[in-house]
């Protein structure tokens, strides 16, 4: 699968590296693909390449949005027409000081991004754990892999998202329509609070128990 990554921080870098390791063709979209930052990321993510955001978007069937939520609009602008693309939204609208989610009332960050990325098939996923867990969902010896909840309106896009999460080693669980991102964004803040505020550390995750 051809996967473009928009956002080259820890989350984007970890997901791109993991997808490449799983055999996918990964391209990171950069404002300047020849920048030292791009070279540094490619050095840590074997088998990936760098391109402009427009090239990364045009050449990919799946796009991962892994910028800060506040940067999403500017990051998506150069991507061009996203009609039909699968857009995996890993962002989180978090209020300053981790005081809560800043999702708009009666909506979610994911639904707002779906309005920006007109025609794209948006799936909210990869927003509820930190990048360390994305690098190793079975970080806790003897336990089952961490759960990855996701939500979206397009069934085939969700199947792709499910497969990509499983390929990284997660136990993917469908939470329903994209509007359920209104729950997944607060869920992310539960992780953030436990890991960063309550002091459990970043290698923490939830595992979903069901029969």
In terms of CB distance, is 8 or 147 closer to a copy of itself? 147
The torsion angles phi and psi of 194, rounded to 5 degrees, stand at -65, -45
- Shortest gap between Cβ of 199 and a copy of itself (angstroms)? 10
- Shortest gap between Cβ of 201 and a copy of itself (angstroms)? 6
In terms of CB distance, is 59 or 102 closer to a copy of itself? 102
Beta bridge pairs of residue 88: 64, 123
- Shortest gap between Cβ of 58 and a copy of itself (angstroms)? 35
Look at residue 189 and give its three-state secondary structure. helix
- Shortest gap between Cβ of 168 and a copy of itself (angstroms)? 16
- Shortest gap between Cβ of 130 and a copy of itself (angstroms)? 12
In terms of CB distance, is 49 or 139 closer to a copy of itself? 139
In terms of CB distance, is 47 or 186 closer to a copy of itself? 186
Q: Token pair 């359920």 is at which residue? A: 180
For the stretch 162-166, contacts whose Cβ atoms lie closer than 8 Å and that sit 24 or more positions apart, written own/partner, are 164/1, 164/3, 164/19, 164/22, 164/24, 164/62, 164/88, 165/125, 165/126
- Shortest gap between Cβ of 87 and a copy of itself (angstroms)? 22
Q: Give the Å distances, CA to CA, from 156 to 103, 117, 138, 160, 172.
A: 26, 18, 27, 6, 15
Interface contacts to a copy of itself, rule CB under 8 A: 99-100, 105, 139-140, 143-144, 146-147, 149, 173-176, 179-180, 182-184, 186-187, 189-190, 193-194, 197-198, 200-201, 203-211
In terms of CB distance, is 161 or 175 closer to a copy of itself? 175
Task: Count Cβ atoms within 10 A of the Cβ of residue 203 and give its class: 0-12 exposed, 13-18 middle, 19 or more buried.
Answer: middle
The two tokens of residue 140 are: 């806790």
In terms of CB distance, is 74 or 207 closer to a copy of itself? 207
């Amino acid at each position: 699968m051809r996967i473009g990554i928009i956002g080259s921080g820890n989350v984007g870098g970890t997901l791109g590296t993991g997808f490449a390791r799983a055999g996918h063709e990964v391209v990171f979209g950069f404002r300047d693909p020849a920048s030292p930052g791009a070279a540094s990321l490619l050095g840590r993510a074997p088998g990936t390449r760098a391109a402009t955001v427009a090239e990364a978007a045009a050449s990919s069937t799946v796009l991962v949005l892994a910028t800060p939520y506040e940067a999403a609009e500017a990051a998506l602008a150069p991507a061009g027409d996203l009609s039909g693309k699968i857009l995996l939204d890993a962002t989180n609208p978090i209020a300053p000081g981790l005081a809560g989610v800043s999702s708009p009332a009666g909506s979610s960050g994911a639904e707002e991004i779906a309005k920006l990325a007109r025609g794209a098939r948006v799936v909210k996923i990869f927003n509820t754990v930190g990048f360390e867990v994305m690098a190793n969902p079975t970080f806790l010896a003897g336990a089952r892999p961490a759960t990855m909840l996701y939500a979206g309106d397009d069934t085939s896009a969700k199947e792709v998202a499910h497969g990509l999460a499983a390929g990284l080693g997660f136990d993917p669980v469908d939470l329903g329509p994209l509007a359920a991102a209104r729950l997944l964004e607060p869920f992310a803040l539960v992780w953030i609070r436990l890991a960063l505020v309550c002091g459990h550390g970043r290698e923490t995750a939830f595992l979903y128990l069901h029969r």
